[in-house]
Structure 1
Amino acid sequence: MESFARNSTLHYKDVKIPAPWGYISGRWYGNRAERPILAIHGWMDNLGTFERLIPLISDCVGVLCIDLPGHGRSSRLPSGICYSVYDYVYIIPMVMKEFGWTTVSLMGHSLGGVMSFMYASMAPDTVDLIISLDVLLPRRVTNPSKITQDIEKCLAEERRQVDAAQEPPSFTLNQLRVALDKGSNHSVPLKLADHMLHRQVAKSQIYPDKLFFSRDGRVKFYHIFDIEPGLAAEMAKRIRRKPYLIIKGGLSPFVGHNCDEAMSILSQDNPNFHFYEVKGASHHVQLQAPEECAQYIAPFIRSHRSATNRIIRNSEITKSKL
């Protein structure tokens, strides 16, 4: 079988965070003696989305990347439970509780960035910095009937999983690369697809030279709500003046005019708010242009998570079991 083409030599420790439905799978890169950055991937992705970025920033502080439930190697939610951005937000305090953190540093791409904004607005006193990759707010819902359609599709997918007596359709590795490239609107090109695929496929037991997507098919139809402008403004006011870094892909529509008011509030009288655009990159900006992203992220982390600041702001030590 063709092998995955990846270059990832950075040292890490695999972790499993207990959850009532199973566990959350993760990788802790770099320093494990102090509280790390918590990195959260986007919809239908997994922690592999950060593989090219982490080696360029992990000298500043460790990074704990997690797979959200139903994604990557994390457990699926139980049958009968649909995926929702509301419930995903609770993953953040769950991780904090597991490691004994009273403060968290957040880095999120796409859905992970939306989660970071939402959590920081709900519990601003527990967040010391936010790094948001090509997102701030969810994109506006233009077709409300899609929500109904997604509910029906999610239920159909669940019935399929329960009733299916055989594994999902399988493909060659190259076919999966093409599918990921196409499904991401070419944001995850063929040459970078393996950074994601190695955590979201399984070997077919029927066709030894083929693989199938192992993530929960229900995540395709998860529910994300539209944060209307008034609510977005109130949420941003609760985060105001906190260190906030937003990096936008120059070819991506995900940080649009619907974000203008919230960004204005976040940046008002805030020398620690930064916005950068990476020309030529699309939605997976951290995967396509990790070097340029690191030019902005590394000094931001150093500024707000320096050795002195870590001692002052957070004296917690990671549980010895890691």
Structure 2
Amino acid sequence: MICLRNKVFKFPLGKLPHFSTFTVKEVKIPIPVTGGHLAGQLWQPTTAPPTPPPCPPIICLHGIQDNSNSFNLLIPHLLLSNNLHNTPIYAFDLPGHGHSTHTTSLYYHSFFDGLLSIHRIMKHFNWPKVTLLGHSLGAVISFIFTAAWPEKVTHYIALDNLHPIPRNDPTHGFQNVVAQAFAMETKLTSSNVRPSYTHSEILQKLYNSRGGQLPLSACEILLQRGASKIINNGEPRFRFLHDVKTNIKASFRFLGDTNIEAMARRIASSPDLRVCIVKGDPGEDFEEREKYMKIVGILKEGLGQGCEFHLVKGGHHFHMEEEGVGRVGGILGGFFKR
């Protein structure tokens, strides 16, 4: 089991060229006006290496109802790379996930909340440019941010998902969101007590929710930051930490094909931007693979060698699977070297 908070990790001197330790520190970023905070884990070397980092600081964005522990297996591979050993990495919990504050509104606008979060993180750390590393929903948010503010991003890395799923007629989507929101309001009004589970029950529930593709050991890692422990009648019980309102897909599928293609062309027209897309095989397709590859094609056509596409054997969370995490680590190590 992996548990990280204000820990120092030591490696043999031969593994790293300039330092032998790095730290993982919990960093909370306050949210003014509405209150609360973003919570995340800042990975960084304990000493200042003499060589400049190959890229700006990396911000990691996880998928829906995951948390920043989604990257706990991958980040050490990056830090142990000769290319990224002196690059700060901040993996944070999206609003309503992990240790970040829940929203006071009736639903989450996942894209807008994510875009605000990236800007908030950059302002907090005084990072003028960043590298975005996103998985699933996190990759989609990173896609939108890169299209809207390409001058702030030098490297964009997408794991499995890439862009918003298009819907050329969003009418049904709006109807569905409103219906879900009122159903959630009724549910929370009648009972605001979340169910609790034994450890084995909550582990199995998380495993089932990920389609049985995520190893139980990886589910344990997500639960470390995704569940809280309570004592009920003298027995330990566990509750999920993510806000139940994240079940309402309020910002999904409201963009048409032409909108998404235009965003892809804007990214592709940024000559200094580098893109790495890693797709699981089989992964998880949220649209026809042909549409996915069309956006990949637009990016490759515009960026040329500045855009890479790789297939990695595994499910949707291949970056948390034993074979997949090493493969992704190797791909990204080479990506930053080139």
**TM-score, scaled relative to structure 2:** 0.80
Q: 1:144 to 1:105 in 2, by over 3 A?
A: same
Matched, 1:204 2:243: no
User: What is the Cα deviation at residue 130 of structure 1?
Assistant: 0.5
1:104 maps to 2:134? no
| Shift in alpha-carbon separation, 1:14–1:160, aligned structure 2, 3 A | same
Larger proportion of strand: 2
| Contact residue 58 and residue 132 of structure 2 kept, 8 A | yes
- Change in Cα spacing, 1:162 to 1:211, as seen in structure 2 (3 Å) is same
Residue matched to 1:313: none
What is the rounded CA distance, in whole Å, between the counterparts of 1:111 and 1:82 in structure 2? 13
* CA RMSD, 1 decimal: 2.4
What displacement does 1:83 show?
A: 3.4
Q: Which residue of structure 1 aligns with residue 266 of structure 2?
A: 238
2-side partners of 1:71 and 1:7: how far apart? 17
**Map of 2:181 onto structure 1:** 154
1:49 matched to 2:86: no
* 1:126 Cα deviation from its structure 2 partner: 0.9
> Deviation digits for residues 76-120 of structure 1, max 9, x if unmatched?
111435333233222111111111121111000001100111011
- Helix, strand or coil for the counterpart of 1:170? coil
Q: Name the SS for the 2:279 alignment partner.
A: strand
Secondary structure at 1:192 match in 2: helix
Quote the residue 1:27 is aligned against: 41
1:14 equivalent in structure 2: 26
Q: Which residue of 1 aligns with 2:16?
A: none
Letter in structure 1 aligned against 2:41? R
Q: Deviation per CA, 1:215-273, whole angstroms, max 9, x where unpaired?
A: 11000113212442221221111111420001111012337221223211211152121
Instruction: Report sequence identity in percent.
Output: 27
Which residue identity does 2:123 align to in structure 1?
A: K
For 1:144 and 1:175, the matched residues in 2 are separated by 38
CA distance in 1, matches of 2:159, 2:66: 14
Equivalent position to 1:260, from 275, 284, 293? 293
Q: Indicate the residue corresponding to 1:278 in structure 2.
A: 312
Partners of 1:229 and 1:301 in 2: how far apart? Answer: 31
The Cα shift of 1:23 comes to: 0.3
Residues 77-86 or 57-66, more deviating: 77-86
What is the CA–CA distance in structure 2 between the aligned matches of 1:144 and 1:198, rounded to whole Å? 39
Residue aligned with 2:293, SS: helix
Task: Give CA-to-partner distance per residue, 1:58-93, whole Å, 9 cap, x none.
Answer: 241221100000000000111435333233222111
Tell me what 1:77 maps to. 103
Structure 2: distance between partners of 1:147 and 1:233? 22
How far apart in 1 are the matches of 2:156 and 2:126?
19
What stretches of structure 1 of length at least 5 have no aligned partner? 304-322
Instruction: Report the more deviating stretch, 79-88 or 267-276.
Output: 79-88
TM-superposition CA deviations, 1:130-162 (whole Å, max 9, x none): 011001123355996465344333333344445
| Contact map agreement 2:164 2:260 (CA 8 A) in 1 | no
> Which structure has the higher relative contact order (CA within 8 Å, separation 6+)?
1
Give the secondary structure class of the aligned counterpart of 1:137. coil
Deviations 1:164-185 (A, max 9, x none): 36x3111111111111111111
Whichever residue aligns with residue 152 of structure 1, its letter is: A
TM-score, length-scaled by structure 1: 0.84
Structure 1 contact 30–63 (Cα < 8 Å) conserved: yes
Deviations 1:279-317 (A, max 9, x none): 2x01111111110000101222244xxxxxxxxxxxxxx
Please give the residue correspondences for 1:214-229 in structure 2 after superposition, counting only pairs within 5 Å: 214-223=241-250, 224-229=252-257
Aligned residue number for residue 181 of structure 1: 207
Structure 1 match to 2:17: none
How far apart, in 1, do the equivalents of 2:140 and 2:290 lie? 16
